[in-house]
Chains A and B, each alone.
Chain A
Amino acid sequence: KNEVEQSPQNLTAQEGEFITINCSYSVGISALHWLQQHPGGGIVSLFMLSSGKKKHGRLIATINIQEKHSSLHITASHPRDSAVYICAVYSNTGNQFYFGTGTSLTVIP
């Protein structure tokens, strides 16, 4: 069993739709990260959070530490949001990152 599970694996949405990607983890963590991977392979960090909720523009990330669950929401989705979104956690016991397999998002105009 992977330490980080994401759902869905693939997601296709119409432009303007509200999108939710879910992440569950099984290890103790100090922080959870949402990453965006572009088609070329490069990865950009979107959020780092250890409690509550953060918002950057149309992106919102929430985390529930007790339930070991996080969600990434995209409001008013746009084709330029098309990418792979990866959930990663930093384990405070193993001092290492664990990565989900990613959610491939395609937003259709």
Chain B
Amino acid sequence: SAVISQKPSRDICQRGTSLTIQCQVDSQVTMMFWYRQQPGQSLTLIATANQGSEATYESGFVIDKFPISRPNLTFSTLTVSNMSPEDSSIYLCSVQTLDWEDTEAFFGQGTRLTVV
């Protein structure tokens, strides 16, 4: 299993500013994942954070808007840049571990972001 500490848990930000979300895992993991959950929607994968290389972004997400750092195997940050009200969502970091042949997912506590 993995225990993930994510912060901040919530924030209210002015449009045009940036917010950095931190995610700390209690064990070394190869890949960390950042998700966005817009109100009433399912989780959408933003990007996969790889240690030692650039993050891999999903269609519709770009590095300039969501820069990601992964300085080591237990830590990652996601920045939401130049925010607008449309960025108001819950952001979650996640890790996946292999349990025998099955892949299990663990999630942080989430960051509830409101942009005003």
Where the two chains meet, the residues of A that have a C-beta atom closer than 8 Å to any C-beta of B are: 2, 4, 30-31, 33, 35, 37, 40-45, 48, 50, 86, 88, 90, 96-97, 99-102
Is A101 a contact of B108 with CB atoms below 8 Å? no
Q: Is the interface of B mostly helix, strand, loop or mixed?
A: strand
| Whole-angstrom CA separation of A48 from B97 in the bound complex | 12
Q: Are A30 and B103 in contact (CB under 8 A)?
A: yes
Q: Is the interface of A mostly helix, strand, loop or mixed?
A: strand
CB of B40, distance to nearest CB on chain A (Å): 7
A41 touching B104 by the CB < 8 A rule?
no
Considering the complex, give the chain A residue whose CB is closest to the CB of B6: A42
Does B64 lie at the interface of the complex (its beta carbon under 8 Å from any beta carbon of A)? no
**With a CB–CB cut-off of 8 A, which chain A residues contact B41?**
101
**Does B92 reach chain A (CB closer than 8 Å)?**
yes
Give the number of chain B interface residues (Cβ < 8 Å).
Answer: 25
* CB closest residue in chain B, given A98: B42
A86 to B40, CA, bound (A): 12
Report how far A47 CA is from B113 CA in the complex, Å. Answer: 28
Query: What is the CA–CA distance of A35 and B37 in the complex, to the nearest angstrom?
Result: 14
Closest partner residue, chain B, to A97 (CB atom) = B105
For the complex, what is the distance from the CA of A42 to the CA of B45, rounded to whole Å? 16
- Given the contacts A2-B42, A101-B41, A101-B42, A45 and B110 also touching, CB distance less than 8 Å: no
From residue A70, how far is it (CB to closest CB) to chain B in Å?
14
| Complex contacts, A90 vs chain B, CB 8 Å | 102-103, 105
**B84 at the binding interface (Cβ < 8 Å):** no
Q: Are A43 and B107 in contact (CB under 8 A)?
A: yes
Query: Mind listing 30 A-B residue pairs with CB under 8 Å?
Result: A4-B42, A30-B103, A33-B104, A33-B105, A35-B105, A40-B9, A40-B109, A41-B10, A41-B37, A41-B90, A41-B109, A41-B111, A41-B112, A42-B110, A43-B92, A43-B107, A43-B110, A45-B106, A45-B107, A48-B99, A48-B104, A86-B42, A88-B43, A90-B103, A90-B105, A96-B45, A97-B105, A99-B42, A99-B43, A101-B41
